[in-house]
Amino acid sequence: MKTMKTTTKMTTIKTTNKMKTMKKSIQALSLVAVLFMTSCTDDDAVTIINEEELITTVELELTNTADATNVVLFKSVDIDGEGPDDPIITVTGTVNASSTYLGEVRFLNESIAPSEDITEEVIEESNDHEVFYTTSITGLTITKTDVDANGNPLGVLSSFQTGAIGTGILTVVLRHEPIKPNDNTLIGAGGETDAEVSFTFEVE
Amino acid sequence: MFTKQLVVIAVFLSFCFSNAQECNLVLKGKILDFHDSKALEFAQIYVAQLQKTYISKADGSYEISGLCPGTYEISVSHYDCETKKTKLEIAQNRTLHIFLEHHISELETVKVLADVHDNHASTQSSTRIKAEKIQQYSGASLGDALATVPGVTSLKTGNSVVKPIVHGLYGSRVAIVNDGLRQQDQEWGIEHAPNIDINTASNIQIIKGASALRYGGDAIGGTILIEPARVISKDTLRGHAIIQGQTNGRGGSATTTINNYRASGWYQQATLTYKKLGDFEAPDYVLSNTGSETTAVNLGVGFKTFEYGASAKYSFYNSEIGILRASHIGNASDLVRSINSGQPLIINDFTYDIDAPKQQVAHHGLQFNAFKRFAGLGKLSMDYSFQFNNRKEFDIRRGANAGLASLDIDLQTQNISIYGMADAFENTTYEAGIDFMNQVNRPNAATGVRRLIPDYDAYKVGAFASVTHEPSEKWVLDAGLRYDRYAINATKFYLQSRWEDLGYDEQFAAFEIGREGNQIKTQPDFQYDLFAFTAGAKYLFDTHYDLAINLSSANRAPNPSELFSDGLHHALATIELGRLDLKKEQSYKVNATFHGNEGDLDFEINPYINFVNDFIQLVPTGLETTIRGAFPVFQYEQINARLYGIDLHATYDFYTKKPAEEINTRLDESLYKTVKLLSLETNLSYIHGTSTTADEPLIDMPPAQFQTQLTWYNALVDRLDFKLANQAVFQQNRFPDNNYDVSIPDDQGQLITSTVDISSTPAAYSLWNVGLSYAFAKANTKINLSSNNLFHTQYRNYLNRQRFYADEVGRDIQLQIIYNF
């Protein structure tokens, strides 16, 4: 009688080859590890951003129509923009009583060199901007002399008519996308304030 | 051993029977439970070729003798198990153990007790939102659906940006896990809604505490688990299509989900959603520039059997959201004008156009998952995911920059996690896992606006272990532990004046790496060790009552906004400053849940208390003046907070008797069946938050609110349901005084000192909603006609950041057609 070699096999229903699974797992893991380490980023150095639209300076220059040498400059400079330092306000020149001045306001960004004249953009987008002047001084009349593309007042150029001697406040406000036409009040005009500066105004 | 003899006998016998083949082979073995290798008695082994059935004995053993060599198809089945079919090659005697998946009924989501009170095997306080309710919100946002759960409210920025608040906490304190993937979509921002398409969810679970340790130990508010449709292993096509339209916003959405399942285990899932809305309308005016457009695509393919599986998923979410035009202001004077005016300062005609200010987000997610179950042990699964989130915010800009984004941030996150669960033991389940996260944040410098959040790289390595033990049928005990190491390295430019003003030139001089112009380049680098643990006990009195208490403790590291924030926020005209020396938050929360089911009444009471030490929040610290005007400065600070509250939920069902279709033929009388006639559901949540450091209330605490709904089933007509709901929100009388005074120029040229009242809270309000829904008998179709804010109530919501500018939306009428297949 031939002896037959038989072996009892113990198997489970899933005949998984453990080695095969292990190898596959290692392959998968290493692929994943590679993906993990290499993220799709550029390793360029982080560059500084100097904001171009930032208004650091508001200058209001008044020139006496009767005397071109009588120039008054109201200036507010906040060179650190949103930073904690307060704006520095300077007034040079003397405002005379009972006189007419031509006013020109300038909005500048002096945090970058060379400085940027934002007033140009205000004039280019005249329909979206308006400058407002309010004053507590009685007898001082301020009229906006320029207009936007639709014929509504703009306010970059103005005319100041002074009355009696006195002291008070002059506030210059630049509004972005105000309601136009409007009643020339801060409340009625709406829009967003891009600049709001108050100066002590002395009429001598 | 004795097979040799058997073979000898077989050979000998074969001579006797002059048989060419040896048909005395034996197949034997044991039928065992897959999970714990326990013997399965009375399992039936059916051999097709023999057309005979064999039964396993008490020890699970079976024996089939008299087999001829050949191929046999056997089918093994057992009560409460999935039948296993296999083909065997029998050439010699064979011992074969067969493992059956036993507890199949326990794996189903169908439970005897109400689904809403979930997790009878867990002690944490959690609530589930079912598919039917999710479908009702197919055209709304995820936050809107979550707000229906007691204890959850919404923090809104307008009607389209909705973030969930869980027990008073939101933002980075609430983790959103979408299909096992922790969402990384710049959730540190208050105006950043979760970038998730609600239509991919088949089931949402809200865990109100830090107990979901698997997904992170820093979710001290809670975790929201969004689960897609379960994979079924049979040949079937399932899904739904929903079209929804609404009058407020004059738009709607369309979504479709198709799930193709195969018995072999292969499946494909796809969900597509598109939503378009124009401006919303308040009762008295149009909310200009509040339109939105959203597109979402979710694709998944995978292979799943009980024992192993793998899947690959891709998700894409793109949304453009208009921000109320009137809410974009220049300075504190503008804010005062807005608050005093009582209505938006800019109101235009209705339009579908979305202009600046607006948000644009694109979120991509790629996920690979594989799992394997090990007989007698448990399950092991591995996940790899990649998320890419780009967020752009557009402000009103001037000149050449008009139309250019002011904020453009790319956030990339990769995550690998390994999770193991051992459930082979009698009454105990162990879970453990490790995960790695790598995150890269790159703001685009081309915006020309100083970065609100800087470039940073962060990584997190964590591990957790937890155990659930049921010593008897009446008790459930669980506990878990987690450790994470989180490191963040950023490169940030500070204005020199700000750096010095904050004292960082002394405190963090080591971070300085250079100077350029009036800015200083720094490289802050921080590491945090975060620990979390949870422990709880639940006692089941009988099938009707249970009481659970859960203690969870968690650490949360400060998020990038809290550390590095540095700039002007146009939404509220505030300068927000981060703090580099923030420490991690430490929270201790105790949640108690008492649930009862007494006949027609089902209720749950969930009181809780949460102590958060070093709680990070924004507090006003002063006023600053720039060329633009005056601004309050808010800085992140750490205080100790105590929050406590209670959520109540109750449902009372009224039943009626209706004649059944069958007639008892023996007694020749009609049979009756009880059907639900009316259902009254009510939720109450109350929360009390205090800063114990400052001895004043916490800001942004949701006011107490009641939500009640009456449902009338089969109202007048079969399958027509009528719903009437009310939401009553009280005024929040506990709030900190963050008002400040500012000099504002008036039209008389004076500078008037005005108090900017940003603290006072809106009045209480009550909203009524109604709905009709009709389910067609044959077509698997349902129509929902509903109206929110039926009475066009004018109101403002304390938790809507736009409450300073405009009222909430007015009446909305929605029509929704749902087709399920």
pLDDT tens digits, one per residue of B172-204 = 999 999 988 899 999 888 889 999 999 999 999
Chain A, nearest residue to B574 by Cα:
A82
Tell me how far apart the alpha carbons of residues B309 and B386 are, in angstroms, rounded to a whole number. 20
> Which pLDDT belongs to residue B107?
41
DSSP state of A153: B
DSSP state of A2: P
> Which pLDDT belongs to residue B19?
45
Q: What angle do CA B687, B691, B697 make, to 5 degrees?
A: 55
What percentage of residues in chain B have a pLDDT greater than 90? 63
| B200 conformational bin, left if phi > 0, alpha if psi -120 to 50, beta if neither | alpha
| Mean pLDDT value across residues A121-134 | 94
> Which pLDDT belongs to residue A31?
58
- Does the structure show a pLDDT above 80 at B110? no
Contact at 8 Å (CB) between A87 and B625? yes
Chain A, nearest residue to B502 by Cα:
A84
Q: Which two tokens stand for residue B578?
A: 């981060």
Is the minimum CB–CB distance between B355 and chain A shorter than 8 Å? no
| H or E stretch at B135 | helix B131-136
> In this structure, how many other beta carbons lie within 10 angstroms of the beta carbon of residue B790?
18
- Does the structure show a pLDDT above 70 at B358? yes
Dihedral sign, CA of A103, A105, A110, A114?
negative
| Mean pLDDT value across residues A29-35 | 55
- Does the structure show a pLDDT above 90 at B112? no
Question: B720: pLDDT confidence band, cut at 50, 70 and 90?
Answer: very high
**Cα of B413 to nearest chain A Cα, Å:** 9
- Does the structure show a pLDDT above 70 at B20? no
Stated pTM of the model: 0.83
Cβ–Cβ of B96/A198 closer than 8 Å?
no
**Using a CB cutoff of 8 Å and minimum separation of 24, what contacts does B690-693 make?**
B690/B641, B690/B642, B690/B643, B690/B734, B691/B615, B691/B617, B691/B639, B691/B640, B691/B641, B691/B736, B692/B639, B692/B640, B692/B641, B692/B642, B693/B639, B693/B640
| Mean pLDDT value across residues B778-794 | 93
- 3-state SS, residue B732: coil
- Does the structure show a pLDDT above 90 at B461? yes
| H or E stretch at B106 | helix B104-107
Is the minimum CB–CB distance between A11 and chain B shorter than 8 Å? yes
Tell me how far apart the alpha carbons of residues A50 and A58 are, in angstroms, rounded to a whole number. 19
Is the minimum CB–CB distance between A34 and chain B shorter than 8 Å? no
| Mean pLDDT value across residues B738-752 | 90
DSSP state of A120: H
Contact at 8 Å (CB) between B365 and B387? yes
> Which pLDDT belongs to residue B113?
34
Contact at 8 Å (CB) between B576 and B239? no
> Which pLDDT belongs to residue A13?
41
> Which pLDDT belongs to residue A1?
43
> In this structure, how many other beta carbons lie within 10 angstroms of the beta carbon of residue B452?
21
> Which pLDDT belongs to residue B156?
93
DSSP B578-629: --TTPPPEEEEEEEEEEEEEETTEEEEEEEEEEEEEEEEEEEEEEEEEETTE
Tell me how far apart the alpha carbons of residues B550 and B566 are, in angstroms, rounded to a whole number. 39
pLDDT digit string, tens, across residues B632-669: 899 999 999 999 999 999 999 988 777 766 555 566 56
Q: Which of A1, A80, A199, A81 is nearest to B14 (CA)?
A: A1
Is the minimum CB–CB distance between B516 and chain A shorter than 8 Å? yes
Lowest-confidence range among A6-10, A91-95, B283-287, B590-594? A6-10
DSSP B56-103: --TTSEEEEEEEPSEEEEEEEE-TTS--EEEEEEESS-EEEEEEE---
Is the minimum CB–CB distance between A16 and chain B shorter than 8 Å? no
Lowest-confidence range among A110-124, A186-200, B112-126, B425-439? B112-126
> Which pLDDT belongs to residue B517?
87
Residues of A with CB below 8 A from B184's CB? Answer: none
Picking from A41, A51, A198, the nearest residue to B440 by CB comes out as: A41
| Mean pLDDT value across residues B234-241 | 91
Whether omega for the bond prior to residue A181 falls within 30 degrees of 0, making it cis, is yes
Residues 6+ apart with CB under 8 A from A144: A131, A133, A153, A154, A155, A157, A158
> Which pLDDT belongs to residue B51?
82
Portion 64-103 of A in contact with B at CB < 8 A: 76, 78-87
Picking from B95, B517, B751, the nearest residue to A198 by CB comes out as: B751
| Mean pLDDT value across residues B718-725 | 92
- Determine how β-strand B286-287 pairs with β-strand B280-281: antiparallel
Question: B3: pLDDT confidence band, cut at 50, 70 and 90?
Answer: low
- Max mean pLDDT range (B186-190, B330-334, B384-388): B384-388
> Which pLDDT belongs to residue B17?
46
- Does the structure show a pLDDT above 70 at B313? yes
- 3-state SS, residue B21: coil
> Which pLDDT belongs to residue B432?
96
Q: What angle do CA B553, B216, B229 make, to 5 degrees?
A: 120
> Which pLDDT belongs to residue A125?
93
**Cα of B757 to nearest chain A Cα, Å:** 18
> Which pLDDT belongs to residue B53?
85
One-letter amino acid for residue A3 of the chain: T
Cβ–Cβ of A136/B749 closer than 8 Å?
yes
| Mean pLDDT value across residues B478-498 | 95
Residues of A with CB below 8 A from B745's CB? Answer: 134, 169, 171, 173, 186, 196, 198
**Cα of B445 to nearest chain A Cα, Å:** 7
Tell me how far apart the alpha carbons of residues A200 and B749 are, in angstroms, rounded to a whole number. 11
Contact at 8 Å (CB) between B289 and B327? no
Q: Which two tokens stand for residue B256?
A: 């479709």
Is the minimum CB–CB distance between B565 and chain A shorter than 8 Å? no
- Does the structure show a pLDDT above 60 at A15? no
Residues 6+ apart with CB under 8 A from A114: none
Dihedral sign, CA of B425, B429, B434, B437?
positive
Q: Which of B217, B253, B687, B201 is nearest to B465 (CA)?
A: B217
Tell me how far apart the alpha carbons of residues B704 and B727 are, in angstroms, rounded to a whole number. 11
- Does the structure show a pLDDT above 90 at B100? no
| Mean pLDDT value across residues B158-181 | 92
Question: B21: pLDDT confidence band, cut at 50, 70 and 90?
Answer: low
Chain A, nearest residue to B336 by Cα:
A187
**Cα of B510 to nearest chain A Cα, Å:** 18
Question: B788: pLDDT confidence band, cut at 50, 70 and 90?
Answer: very high
| Mean pLDDT value across residues A39-49 | 70
- Max mean pLDDT range (B90-94, B372-376, B483-487): B483-487
**Cα of A56 to nearest chain B Cα, Å:** 6
- Does the structure show a pLDDT above 70 at B14? no
Tell me how far apart the alpha carbons of residues B142 and B42 are, in angstroms, rounded to a whole number. 49
Q: Which two tokens stand for residue B228?
A: 């897609």
| Mean pLDDT value across residues B204-228 | 90
- Determine how β-strand B94-100 pairs with β-strand B25-33: parallel
> In this structure, how many other beta carbons lie within 10 angstroms of the beta carbon of residue B678?
15
> Which pLDDT belongs to residue B660?
67
Portion 647-706 of B in contact with A at CB < 8 A: none
Lowest-confidence range among A89-98, B13-22, B346-355, B522-531? B13-22
- Does the structure show a pLDDT above 80 at A200? yes
Residues of A with CB below 8 A from B498's CB? Answer: 80, 83-84
Q: What's the mean pLDDT when you consider all of chain B?
A: 89
- Determine how β-strand B428-443 pairs with β-strand B407-422: antiparallel
> Which pLDDT belongs to residue A8?
44
Tell me how far apart the alpha carbons of residues B769 and B813 are, in angstroms, rounded to a whole number. 10
For B8, list phi and psi in degrees, rounded to 5.
Answer: -60, -45
**Cα of B450 to nearest chain A Cα, Å:** 6
| 3-state DSSP of B355-397 | CCCEEEEEEEEEEEEEEEEECCCEEEEEEEEEEEEEEEEECCC
- Does the structure show a pLDDT above 60 at B60? yes
Is the minimum CB–CB distance between B297 and chain A shorter than 8 Å? no
| Mean pLDDT value across residues A87-108 | 94
Cβ–Cβ of B396/A176 closer than 8 Å?
yes
| Mean pLDDT value across residues B462-489 | 94
| 3-state DSSP of B429-453 | EEEEEEEEEEEEEEECHHHCCCCCC
> Which pLDDT belongs to residue B651?
94
pLDDT digit string, tens, across residues A154-181: 999 999 999 999 999 999 999 999 999 9
| Mean pLDDT value across residues B618-627 | 90
- 3-state SS, residue B31: strand
> Which pLDDT belongs to residue A112?
84
- 3-state SS, residue B507: helix
Angstrom distances, CA of residue B86 to CA of B44, B74, B611: 14, 6, 57
Angstrom distances, CA of residue B811 to CA of B288, B344, B787, B788: 16, 18, 7, 6
Portion 105-124 of A in contact with B at CB < 8 A: 111-112, 118, 121-122, 124
> Which pLDDT belongs to residue A11?
46
Question: B119: pLDDT confidence band, cut at 50, 70 and 90?
Answer: low
Cβ–Cβ of A11/B96 closer than 8 Å?
yes
- Does the structure show a pLDDT above 60 at B134? yes
**Cα of B597 to nearest chain A Cα, Å:** 45
